[in-house]
Structure 1
Amino acid sequence: MRLTHKQGVAGEEAAWAFLQQQGCKLVARNWHCPFGEIDLIVKNGNTIVFVEVKYRNSNRFGGAAYSISAAKLLKMQRSAEYYLQQNGLTQANCRLDAVLIQGAASIEWLKNITG
């Protein structure tokens, strides 16, 4: 199942709207570095949160959570570390989260996906 760019953007918009309702403040969107891309970087209280957004029309191929592989987690971690170093935030509280959107189902926010 391949999503179009339009569907991906709509998924990120829905994820951001959801996070905003939860009190998060936007720091950056689609932030790129040599290690990859972070979909959303937000502040949740005094914690910097690096968010992977996954949208799927259905769970037919394993659903949204299934698509977050070990390789993707490693890229996210390296990208987050790079962001923190580049911005002088190496002592900041931070975590990696995922926002999952599956079809018309409600949005699921998985916090601290690396354990």
Structure 2
Amino acid sequence: ETLDYDDDGDLKERVQKTKEVSRKATQALGRSLATSEKMNEVARATMDELHAQGEVVSKIQNEIADLDAETKVAQKHLREMNRHWLLRCFCMGASYEEDAVSEKARRRTEATATAAAAGGVAA
């Protein structure tokens, strides 16, 4: 089939428009690809940051567990010290009580001896 000049000009114009549309589509695709690559970089950086934060959280959890264990040991020692001091105070209290009873008995004995001596002198 032969083309006349008008058809040939129209064909050239269509080819030119197609090339222009193709060029613009290629540019848009390139921009889209660049944007996608940037988004992938951001996503990788975000994942790296989340991984690092996860490691920090893990370390903090380990430190908390260590402190919890140390606290339990300290509480056990404190309970043992409290028992020791309570027992010591109880024993000291009993000792003071025994001393008071002994003092009363000593005074009674002295009073009885004094009374007996006074009675013997009076007789």
Output the TM-score relative to the length of structure 2. Answer: 0.18
Whichever structure has more strand as a proportion of its residues is: 1
The higher radius of gyration belongs to: 2
The one of the two structures with greater contact order (alpha-carbon pairs below 8 A, sep at least 6) is: 1
By percentage of residues, which structure has more helix? Answer: 2
